[in-house]
Amino acid sequence: MKKTAKAKQRSAPLTDAQRIIGAVKKIPRGRVSTYGNIAEVAGLPRRARLVGTVLRQTPASTRLPWFRVINSSGRISFPVDSDAYESQRAKLEAEGIELIRGRVDLKRHAWPRRDTELDELLWKMDD
């Protein structure tokens, strides 16, 4: 049985970094996600620290909505008095995401919003 040209041209599996970047790109405007949720969406459960590492190593010139990723308590992970904190806060507020006492209301702004959304993202077949 002969293999078709399509079978020979199968693309290489995505790297962990590519999967994480793809997941971050899916976060809609006006929503945030946690490092852990991004890891889940990328198919890398319990790899929240890897998400932070990938985002930190991604060039600033990349058009990636990195600022929509926050920690599991709803806080920006940069030190409060840093330029990076102020930049992330300003970008979130420009999208209508308010920080109250330094926290984002995850019940209101989290993505994905429900377990079913997460299941759909994890198991949906790419077209």
The domain total for the chain is: 1
**Could you count the other beta carbons within 10 Å of the beta carbon of residue 6?**
7
Domain that holds residue 71: 16-123
What's the pLDDT at 119?
A: 63
List, for residues 66-108, the tens digit of each pLDDT value.
Answer: 999 999 999 999 999 999 999 999 999 999 999 999 999 999 9
Residue 117 within any structural domain of the chain: yes
What's the pLDDT at 89?
A: 98
Residue (of 103, 96, 102) closest to 28 by Cα position: 96
Residue 7 within any structural domain of the chain: no
List, for residues 11-32, the tens digit of each pLDDT value.
Answer: 789 999 999 999 999 999 999 9
Residue 83 within any structural domain of the chain: yes
Residue 1 within any structural domain of the chain: no
Residue 6 within any structural domain of the chain: no
pLDDT at 6 over 90: no
Can you tell me the mean pLDDT for 33-50?
Answer: 97
